[in-house]
Structure 1
Amino acid sequence: MEIYHVQDVSFTFPLQERKALQNIQLKVHDGEFIIIGGKSGSGKSTLLRQLKPILTPHGKREGEIVFRGKPIGELDQRTQASEIGFVLQNPDNSMVTDKAWHELAFGLESLGLDQQTIRIRVAEMASFFGIQTWFHKPVTELSGGQKQLLNLASIMTMHPSVLLLDEPTSQLDPIAAADFVETLRKINQELGTTIIMTEHRLEEVLPVSDRFIVMDEGRIVVDDQPRKVGEALRLMNHPMFTAMPSPMQIYAGVTPESPYPVTVKEGRQWLDRYMAEKPIVRIEAAQFDDEITAIPLAAEPAVRFKDVWFKYEKNGPNIIKDLSFEVSGGQFYCLVGGNGTGKTTALSLASGLYQPFRGKVYIGGKNIGSMNARELYNNNLAYLPQNPQHLFVKKTVGQDLFDMLTHSSLSKEKRADKVQAVSEFLELQPLLTMHPYDLSGGEQQRAALAKVLLLEPSILLLDEPTKGLDSFFKDKLASYLKQLNADGVTIIMVSHDIEFCAKYADVCAMFFNGSITTSGPAKTFFAGNSFYTTAANRMARHVWSHAVTIEDVIAQCRNNG
């Protein structure tokens, strides 16, 4: 049965000439699991929001969208709320009550259901999602993964026939993201709910989906089964192929034949067949360590934590516990770990936003507690927060960028040149006249990053900078960050993007329970982990245990070929 029929739909935002969507043709059948992918700003989220009128942005729409045989514009708000669920990228934007169980019941109460029905549905969904152990907890005490799961469960209590999700795993750690995707698979398989989801992180979600739709500049360029989409993108030499799962990229880098593997399991099986008749040359960890550029340690570290303790409230729990580590000048240092372990708090301490109640934080050998804001941030330190909207203070992106240079001694022409250069690098030129809040999540991330880069700091603190970015911009960002490293800039990055950290970082550290449990050179660090490692390593570790990146595995296949 056809649940959505999208016919010749185009959409243009107010005061914009370029169409965000162009002649979209799409049919969605009941029970399908569909992923929509594409570069940042390609129209994914805009298309998704057309499928629930109450969330459709202001603008001009052409064409027709039919929901269950009825024009979607004729759906009343009650039908939309109960039949079409929508999960936002940031779970905090969806929370409206104080306790987990209140959140589960809120939607049902809004629909006016009786108490008995509400009790039954809440209990049923709490059991289905495994929420019983934190059923009575305040939502402020939940981890990012728990919040997103609660957000999903609160929508599912209303028994929607369609579930729309806009990059729901972008702020989750790898384990929480995998658990969330598994929950979506259960909803789709066991409840028969139709799922349409935009996503940049495709490793976990593509294997459980029926269709993958790729968008580019407001158009659908490919729509097929995931493995067939991979083949099509490869033949088209489309940049979106670099976002496909690691087994598929490794396979395509070794042999042009089909079918392409999608899962780690399929990749392992192909690798075993490929290596069956070949002598395996084992590689030692030292061979990979030799690839890591040795960074000379400065006499004084750029950033140093010494016995640091921190908590947000006087009688609250310790968030940072006896944290000690140091980052050398010109080093690219990544912090990974689960949601709620203290990574962002540690970055905030390094930025001077908070002060520890015990221990010291040093920037360039000087105690941060004795430095004023001007001394700390004047060409010394810059901080990109997790939520890019925290940096926007003006009505347009262009004004926001110029605002960063307000106190600069540069001439007006020099300021304009700097803004133009960073705008070109991050491809912000078409967005300069737009309000920052009208941008997509990935575009907001790029605009916020541009503001930070304009400061030209000697120490750069980045909290989830790749969140919402497509693979093309990740590679572009990495190239720029490595150039900053070469110029002596120190980078400390908090990230859930394991592949990015493994490929580009110098040193990685695991955060757990408020402190660092282990650290080491990026490749050897990830080679020693079971879950906090790359899909490429999980696929090939039984043959080459220290092959961590896609490039590592492809190179070893060719060397052994």
Structure 2
Amino acid sequence: MAHFTIENLTFAYPEAGKNALQDVSLQIQEGEYLVLIGKSGSGKSTLLRHLKTALTPHGVRSGRVLFSGKPLEEAGLREQSAKIGYVMQDPDSQIVTDKVWHELAFGLESLGCDQRTMRLRVAEMASYFGIQDWFHRDVAELSGGQKQLLNLASIMAMQPEVLILDEPTSQLDPIAAADFLNTVRKINLELGTTVILSEHRLEEVFPAADRVAVLEEGRLMALDTPRGIGRRLRAEGSDMVAALPAPMRIFYGAEGGGECPLTVREGRSWLSREMEGRPVCRETPPAPLEEIPAADAAVVLKEVWFRYEKDAPDVLRGVNLQVPRGSLFAVVGGNGAGKSTMLKAICHICRPYRGKVLLEGRKVEKYRPDELFQGMLAMLPQDPKTLFVKKTVREELLEMLPGRGGEEREERVLKIAAELQVADLLAQHPYDLSGGEQQRAALAKVLLLEPKILLLDEPTKGIDSFYKKTLAEILAGLKRKGVTILLVSHDIEFCAQYADAVAMFFDGGVVTANTPGRFFAENSFYTTAANRMSRHLFPYAVTADDVIRRVCESRGEGKERIRRGERQ
């Protein structure tokens, strides 16, 4: 029996000028694991929100959604709360209490469960999800990964029939994201819970999916098994091939034979067969990161220590870091390690009690606020919504250009909107945008400050692989203008491909920094899928393009063929 039946669903946000969903028809069976993929703004989140009436957005709608054979609206809020669980993209937007144990019990209290049942389910969920060690902690003390796990546990305590997840790993580090998605798969397999999930990170979810649905500009363009979707996208020459997991991209880029691999393990086996009997060139280690004089660094941190409260543990513990002028310097590490706090210390939002922060050779506390944030320093926070205070994207951007002539302001806004691909969103309310669109609008707002030093906290969160290339081009253009970019990210694929240097942040400090080729090749788990798949043959290949290039070179194929493969 179908859990959800979606019939000719069409929807438009107020004053949007176009439909967010267009004639979407889809059946989702009981116990199925369905993955939604598509570019940012393709309608994934909008479609998911129509599967629970409390979350259905305001706008003009036609078509209908059936739940277990009857219109969704006929299922009361209590029934939907009990049977349909929903995990949002931003963990903070879903948490409603101050203590972990209370958050676990909140949904059950709302459903009117008796105390005995409540205690049993809370204990079971805390044990199942490994929450015992932080069961009594304040929610505010948790990392992003812990908050998202708490959201999932709180929903599963109500024993829902359907679990809907909207890009649930967008704020998680790679290891926490893999653990989270493995837990979701376990819930699907062991409990028979129907899972409907939208994601941009496909390495973990693609092999687990029963079917994959591709949305494009609000339309359902394809629905098939994961391998079937890969074949269809490849045959149609779709640019969505670039969004597929690394083993599939490498297979299609290198024009491999046999069955397309879905997992790293399958990719490793295919690559071994593909390279059998062919010469494998001895890999030369990439150049290590060179030490630079402090005078050549745009940002310098020397023994920086910081804690949020006097009696609280230190979050920053003797951080030492030098960011070369005009470089793209990436910092990776687990949730709660202190990366975002380090960026706030550079901005002087968090004031260290020991150590120095130097910007262009001058202590940060010596800058006047207007001097610091006008042409020197700008920061894109992890949650872009914190920057939005106006009713339209256009007003948000115009706000950054006070005191300028009307024509000049409008020209600057239109130019930055075109560069960041938000020109068609200028009339919309920022909160009506998808997560990826909000990220782009927030970055446009920050770049209007024309900073010399740009701090980015998770800039690729919620954006698709296509816009990541655009973002990389924008950042490369800023570098050519002499802008220094310090980026904190969980997106190791982006860091491997585009960063000049990568540092690991752990336990409140930087433990190592190196060039991407060296950094990721020396890690076993904190590395890219392409490297895990190919390191037995190509130890220093850290991107899909690296692997494709080496496979094509082993066949003696020309540069044009290699470039063609890398564009797949």
Shorter-chain TM-score: what band?
over 0.9
Q: Distance in 1 between matches of 2:152 and 2:50?
A: 20
1:327, 1:70 → 2: CA distance? 59
Contact 1:298 1:329 in 2 (8 A): no
Aligned residue type for 1:215:
L
What code does the residue aligned with 1:197 have? L
Aligned equivalents of 1:66 and 1:411: distance in 2? 53
Give the deviation of 1:200 after TM superposition: 0.7
Offset of 1:179 from its aligned partner?
Answer: 0.2
Matched residue, 1:250: 250
Equivalenced residue count is 555
Instruction: Mark the CA change 1:420 to 1:298 in structure 2 (over 3 Å): closer, same or farther.
Output: farther
In structure 2, what is the equivalent of residue 490 of structure 1? Answer: 484
Shift of 1:102: 1.1
Give the one of 269, 277, 297 matched to 1:301.
297
Match for 2:346 among 331, 346, 350? 350
Distance 1:312 1:137 in 2: 16
AA aligned to 2:534 is: A
Q: Which residue of 2 aligns with 1:276?
A: 276
Partner of 2:561: none
Counterpart in 2 of 1:117? 117
Aligned to 2:562: none
- The alpha-carbon deviation at position 160 of structure 1 amounts to 0.5
Q: Secondary structure of 2:227's partner?
A: helix
Say whether the 8 Å CA contact 2:108–2:158 is kept in structure 1: yes
Mapping of 1:466-485 within 5 angstroms? 466-485=460-479
Tell me the amino acid that sits aligned with residue 320 of structure 2.
S
Q: Which amino acid aligns with 2:333?
A: G
Q: CA deviation at 1:298?
A: 7.5
Q: How is 1:44-443 mapped onto 2 (pairs within 5 angstroms)?
A: 44-255=44-255, 257-285=257-285, 288-289=286-287, 299-407=295-403, 410-443=404-437
The one-letter code matched in structure 2 to 1:20 is A
Amino acid at match of 1:520: N
1:4-60 deviation per Cα after TM superposition (whole angstroms, max 9, x unaligned): 111111011122331110000100000011110111110000000011111000012
Distance 2:24 2:448 in 1: 38
CA shift, 1:237, in A, is 2.1
Task: State the one-letter code of the partner of 1:497.
Answer: D
After superposition, what is the alpha-carbon deviation per residue over 1:302-350, rounded to whole angstroms, capped at 9, x for unaligned?
A: 1100111011111111000111111111011001000000000001111
Q: What is the CA distance between 1:388 and its match in structure 2?
A: 0.3
Q: Which moved more, 1:387-396 or 1:506-515?
A: 387-396
Q: Residues 417 and 258 of structure 1: is their aligned pair in 2 closer, same or farther, counting only changes over 3 Å?
A: farther
User: 1:295 offset after TM fit, Å?
Assistant: 11
Structure 1 distance, partners of 2:293, 2:453, is: 15
Aligned to 2:458: 464
**Aligned equivalents of 1:257, 1:43: Cα separation in 2:** 34
Shift of 1:145: 1.3
Query: Where does residue 25 of structure 1 map in the other structure?
Result: 25
Letter of the structure 2 residue corresponding to residue 92 of structure 1: D
Following superposition, the deviation at residue 239 of structure 1 comes to: 2.1
Give per-residue Cα distances to partners, 1:40-97, cap 9 Å, x unaligned. Answer: 1100000000111110000121112111011111110000100000001111111112
Tell me, yes or no, if structure 1 residue 560 matches structure 2 residue 543.
Answer: no
Is the 1:507–1:519 Cα contact (8 Å) retained in structure 2? yes
What amino acid maps onto 1:384 in structure 2? L
Secondary structure of the structure 1 residue equivalent to 2:450: coil
Q: Distance in 2 between matches of 1:296 and 1:483?
A: 23
- In the aligned structure 1, how far is the partner of 2:388 from the partner of 2:525? 36
Q: Report the alpha carbon displacement of residue 258 of structure 1 after superposing the two structures with TM.
A: 5.0
Quote the offset at 1:282 in angstroms: 2.1
Cα distance, 1:264 vs structure 2: 0.2
Q: State the percentage of identical aligned residues.
A: 54
CA contact (8 A) 1:8 1:25 kept: yes
Residue aligned with 1:315, SS: coil
Verify the 8 A CA contact 1:282 1:543 in the aligned structure 2.
no
In the TM superposition, 1:469-548 aligns within 5 A as 469-548=463-542
Deviation string, structure 1 residues 341-367 (Cα, Å, up to 9, x no partner): 000000111112121111110001110
| 1:257 Cα deviation after fit | 4.3
**Which whole-Å CA distance do the structure 1 matches of 2:397 and 2:461 have between them?**
20
The one-letter code of the counterpart of 2:181 is V
**Residues 85, 164 of structure 1: 8 Å contact kept:** yes
From the superposition, tell whether residues 418 and 475 of structure 1 become closer, same or farther in structure 2 (CA, over 3 Å). same
Residue pair 2:329, 2:499 contacting (<8 A) in 1 also: yes
The residue identity in structure 1 corresponding to 2:417 is S
Q: Would the aligned equivalents of 2:416 and 2:444 in 1 still touch at CA under 8 Å?
A: yes
Unaligned stretches of 5+ residues in structure 2? 556-568
Contact 2:295 2:361 in 1 (8 A): no
- Greater alpha carbon shift after TM alignment, 433-442 vs 295-304: 295-304
- Provide the TM-score with structure 2 as the length reference: 0.96
CA distance in 2, matches of 1:45, 1:289: 43
Q: Is the 8 A contact 1:297 1:329 kept in 2?
A: no
Counterpart for residue 42 of structure 1: 42
Task: Out of 539-548 and 425-434, give the one that drifted further.
Answer: 425-434
1:302 match: secondary structure: strand
Counterpart of 1:74, as a letter, is: E
- Once residues 432 and 250 of structure 1 are traced to their aligned partners in structure 2, the CA distance between those partners, rounded to angstroms, is 37
Normalised to the residue count of structure 1, the TM-score between the two structures is 0.97
Question: Residue 564 of structure 2 aligns with which residue?
Answer: none
SS in 2 for 1:556: helix
Could you list the per-position Cα deviations for residues 91-150 of structure 1 after superposition, in whole angstroms to 9, with x for gaps in the alignment? 111111222111111111111111111111111212221222222222122221111111
SS at match of 1:190: helix
Deviating beyond 2 angstroms after TM superposition, the runs of 4 or more aligned structure 1 residues are 256-259, 294-300
Letter in 1 for 2:438: Q
Shift of 1:411: 3.1
1:289 shift after superposition? 3.1
For 2:114 and 2:449, how far apart are their aligned partners in 1? 57
